[in-house]
Chain A
Amino acid sequence: RKEVEQDPGPFNVPEGATVAFNCTYSNSASQSFFWYRQDCRKEPKLLMSVYSSGNEDGRFTAQLNRASQYISLLIRDSKLSDSATYLCVVNTGGFKTIFGAGTRLFVKA
């Protein structure tokens, strides 16, 4: 079992749709969680950190469920510019960081 697993997709959605990504992690001692966005042939960019209480940033909402060991990212009112690969990132302590393989999203007009 991979330490961090994501549905690779791709997710093909129309503009304005709501789309949700899930990510599961295997190490129950994991401490920090993030969602990154990576455009084709570019470096990953931090989208948002994920907190137990859940957090929202505009159209993006992240949730953490420690009991079930998964995190989620919800994108509302999808824009064409949201098309990218979304990486689930888990820190398991110290500087040990594990990247998921990413979920590809295509938003179409």
Chain B
Amino acid sequence: GAVVSQHPSRVICKSGTSVKIECRSLDFQATTMFWYRQFPKQSLMLMATSNEGSKATYEQGVEKDKFLINHASLTLSTLTVTSAHPEDSSFYICSAPLEQNNYGYTFGSGTRLTVV
């Protein structure tokens, strides 16, 4: 089945540094990738939608200059958390639609970011 590979699975970084998270579609082309953030015991919150070859669309309240998204190819989307702070510590997860929405979405395995 369709697989999205997400790396790293876990990262601890110092406050003020930047962290890049990669999501790759392994056996299909993902023209669209979604980036979510999930805080403990809360639902997944959509941060942005990345589209291959165009600028990402950010949800209200998400700082585009802080969360840089690049969809460089049909199989790779990256999220860079710039100048990370402890409040950015969260579970970040990407997903790609399988086919026209009716077949659900496939998720990356998630990245647990801890900013110290």
Chain B residue contacts of A99, Cβ below 8 A: 36, 43-45
Q: Is the CB of B91 within 8 A of A95?
A: no
**Cβ contact of B93, chosen from A31, A43, A91, A94, cutoff 8 A:** A43
Q: In the complex where A95-B32, A95-B49, A101-B43 touch, is A43 in contact with B101 (Cβ < 8 A)?
A: no
The proximity string for B residues 44-59 relative to A, scoring 1 for CB distances below 8 Å and 0 otherwise, is 1110010000000000
Q: Does A87 contact B (CB under 8 A)?
A: yes
**Alpha-carbon gap, A32 to B102, bound state (A):** 6
Separation of A89 and B49 alpha carbons in the complex (Å): 17
Residues in A neighbouring B44, C-beta threshold 8 A: 44, 87, 99
Residues of A within 8 A of B (CB): 31-32, 34, 36, 41-46, 49, 87, 89, 91, 94-95, 97, 99-102
For this complex, 12 residue pairs linking A to B, each with C-beta atoms less than 8 Å apart, are: A32-B101, A36-B104, A41-B91, A43-B107, A44-B107, A46-B104, A46-B105, A49-B102, A49-B104, A94-B101, A95-B49, A99-B43
| Chain B residue nearest to A100 in the complex (CB) | B43
Question: Which among B36, B102, B104 has the greatest number of chain A C-beta atoms within 10 A?
Answer: B104
Interface of B is mostly: strand
B contact residues vs A (CB 8 Å cutoff):
6, 32, 34, 36, 42-46, 49, 91, 93, 97, 101-110, 112
B110 engages A43 (CB within 8 Å): yes
Known A-B contacts: A44-B93, A95-B97. Give 4 more (CB < 8 A).
A31-B101, A43-B108, A95-B101, A97-B46
- Pick from B42, B101, B104, B109: contact of A42, CB below 8 A: B109
Contact of A43 with B42 at beta-carbon distance under 8 Å, contacts A31-B101, A49-B103 already known: no
Q: Could you tell me the distance between the alpha carbons of A97 and B104 in the complex, rounded to whole angstroms?
A: 10
Query: Complex formed: what's the CA distance from A40 to B116 in Å?
Result: 22
Assess whether B109 is in contact with A91, with CB atoms less than 8 Å apart. no
Chain A residue at minimal CB-CB distance from B102: A32
